[in-house]
Structure 1
């Protein structure tokens, strides 16, 4: 059984990141890592480790690649937080009720 996981730019995850305008502020490799983080975080068995991210997202790289990305990567995390907060507020107003948020 192949564990090859192909997430194309037409996938729902990429489309959602497009909607949040992440493509304007982050490079393709950063977007790919963000997608791999999302995939791993929603898998059964995820405990928050870099090794889990590599194993559960079926990333084709060594765990140190993600470690370097997190510790030495140059990317605007503040933009990501602002975009996510804006989207959460939009959903709250759209639904007219509180929403539940999973904090990892």
Structure 2
């Protein structure tokens, strides 16, 4: 998928940032936890505007896939946001390791 060229490195960069913040903030009693999240219901795709690639675009063959993903229709089931939030709070209160 073409968007992975930016998405995957960004995710890894955030993980590295979390690792560094965790080490730097230990002396101050601050804990940093990286929460690795899957698909959760949200309104992030609610504001999608229709768009169309130029017919001459190299990516026109992927247009349907792009449009579906922009609308949040990528085939992944989404977890209810309340269930997700309760799970995150429960895990944080259980004093997890640096990542979950």
Same fold per superposition (TM over 0.5): no
- TM-score, length of structure 1 as denominator length: 0.28
Higher relative contact order (CA 8 A, sep 6+): 2
Higher Cα radius of gyration: 2
- TM-score, length of structure 2 as denominator length: 0.29
